[in-house]
């Protein structure tokens, strides 16, 4: 089933998942394509970003944003083209960065929409290195982690949309970059292509020992986006005054209960106290949205200079988005996960 000019495919939230999403979580339906009223425009999705935060939107649990309601389209960042416009500042054929969600078409009044012009060089990059993941890496690392030359920065999911940029920006700022990733191919890519100083396979039986060896002077900044066993291996290596920017805990997103074993929260807090560790959670646009111009200028320059390399994991077809999302949550993606929903041409 491909995108057409006669119907709007939508993935609706069918039920709230318990644990990992399954085939009943989302429902694919076809509806009519809406007509824009005065002050609106009709957008056709070309690329859909898949990101771990979407798992939280499927849940009704309290969070920093409202959950998706049952029967509503699944949310998501998109790159789209303007099909029709009754809105000043947007004309037919413009490329836009928008939030159409998991569907072919959407109406917009221009709120939270960025006009990218008629001929952006790499439109899908606005969902990755030049979009939310890149800005998450940039602001979290520089505003909270604040790495100094010679310090050691560690990041998990090191070849993903956020982690790859964290490591490369750390190197630009003169720090050591140590990545954690799932598998030899990803670790080799982090070192040989992205320029990390080391990368440890999180699946290795001696993972904790290898991480300690790769960080002989301890860890000054740990960019946290995974949690779980990775975090347990990091904590003993944190230096006095270490900083932890916290943007996600993907290892916990599908959990339905607390992990088995002793409650380590007291010991963890004591460790943070003794080492004067700073932990700050952040929501990128809520906390650092004012830094977007600075981010865009720096990241665009670094990409043009070849100092930032970017890799997409591109999946063809909106119908394949649910399976790709599960791959993302399980770490089976290699690069920023993006769905190609439609063709570039109008």
- For residue range 174-220, list pLDDT tens digits in order: 999 999 999 999 999 999 999 999 999 999 999 999 999 999 999 99
How many angstroms separate the Cα of 305 from the Cα of each of 48, 252, 299? 27, 37, 10
- CATH 3.40.50.720 residue ranges of the chain are 132-289+295-301
Burial class, 204, CB count within 10 angstroms (exposed 0-12 / middle 13-18 / buried 19+): middle
Residues ≥6 apart with Cβ < 8 Å to 233:
207, 208, 211
Burial class, 271, CB count within 10 angstroms (exposed 0-12 / middle 13-18 / buried 19+): middle
Q: How confident is the model at residue 227 (pLDDT cuts 50, 70, 90)?
A: confident
- Assess whether pLDDT exceeds 80 at residue 78: yes
- Choose the weakest-confidence range: 14-28, 99-113, 255-269, 332-346: 255-269
Determine the pLDDT at residue 154.
98
Determine the pLDDT at residue 262.
62
How many angstroms separate the Cα of 176 from the Cα of each of 31, 185, 207, 339? 51, 21, 19, 33
| Digit-coded pLDDT (tens) for 260-299 | 666 667 778 888 898 899 999 999 989 999 999 999 999 9
106-112: average pLDDT: 96
The residue with greater pLDDT, 264 or 44, is: 44
How many angstroms separate the Cα of 29 from the Cα of each of 100, 199, 300, 318, 323? 16, 43, 38, 12, 17
Q: How confident is the model at residue 251 (pLDDT cuts 50, 70, 90)?
A: very low
- CATH 3.90.180.10 residue ranges of the chain are 8-128+311-340
| Digit-coded pLDDT (tens) for 142-151 | 999 999 999 9
CATH for 8-128+311-340?
3.90.180.10
Determine the pLDDT at residue 255.
45
Determine the pLDDT at residue 220.
98
Strand partners, 244: 279
132-289+295-301 topology per CATH: Rossmann fold (3.40.50)
Strand partners, 181: 201
Q: How confident is the model at residue 257 (pLDDT cuts 50, 70, 90)?
A: low
**Eight-class DSSP state of 150:** T
The 10 Å Cβ neighbour count of residue 32 is 9
Among candidates 286, 302, 201, 202, which has minimal Cα distance to 247? 286
Determine the pLDDT at residue 226.
76
Residues ≥6 apart with Cβ < 8 Å to 77:
48, 49, 51, 97, 98, 99, 127, 131, 132
Q: What is the model's pTM?
A: 0.85
């Amino acid at each position: 089933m491909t995108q057409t000019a006669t119907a709007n495919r939508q993935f609706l939230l069918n039920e709230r998942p318990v644990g990992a999403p399954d085939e009943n979580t989302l429902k694919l339906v076809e509806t009519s394509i809406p007509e824009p009223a005065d002050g609106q425009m009709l957008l056709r999705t070309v690329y859909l970003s898949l990101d771990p935060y979407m798992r939280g939107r499927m849940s009704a649990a309290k969070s920093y944003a409202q959950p998706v309601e049952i029967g509503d389209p699944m949310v998501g960042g998109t790159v789209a083209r303007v099909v029709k416009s009754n809105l000043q500042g947007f004309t037919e054929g413009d490329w836009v960065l928008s939030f159409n969600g998991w569907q072919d078409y959407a109406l917009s009044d221009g709120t939270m929409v960025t006009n990218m012009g008629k001929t952006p060089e790499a439109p899908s990059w606005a969902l990755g290195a030049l979009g939310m993941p890149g800005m998450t890496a940039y602001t979290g690392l520089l505003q909270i982690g604040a790495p100094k030359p010679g310090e050691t920065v560690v990041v998990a999911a090191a070849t993903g949309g956020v982690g790859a940029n964290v490591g490369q920006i750390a190197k630009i700022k003169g720090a050591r970059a140590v990545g954690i990733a799932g598998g030899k191919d990803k670790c080799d890519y982090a070192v040989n292509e992205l320029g990390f100083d080391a990368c440890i396979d999180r699946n290795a039986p001696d993972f904790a020992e290898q991480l300690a060896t790769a960080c002989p002077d301890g860890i000054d900044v740990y960019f946290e986006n995974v949690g779980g066993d990775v975090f347990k291996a990091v904590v003993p290596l944190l230096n006095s005054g270490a900083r932890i920017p916290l943007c996600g805990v993907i290892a916990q997103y599908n959990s339905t209960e607390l992990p088995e074993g002793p409650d380590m929260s007291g010991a963890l807090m004591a460790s943070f106290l003794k080492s004067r560790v700073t932990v700050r959670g952040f929501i990128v646009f809520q906390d650092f949205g004012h830094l977007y111009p600075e981010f865009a200028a720096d990241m665009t320059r670094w990409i043009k200079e070849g100092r930032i390399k970017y890799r997409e994991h591109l999946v063809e077809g909106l119908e394949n988005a649910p399976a790709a999302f599960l791959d993302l949550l399980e770490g089976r993606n290699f690069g920023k996960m993006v769905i190609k929903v439609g063709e570039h041409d109008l």
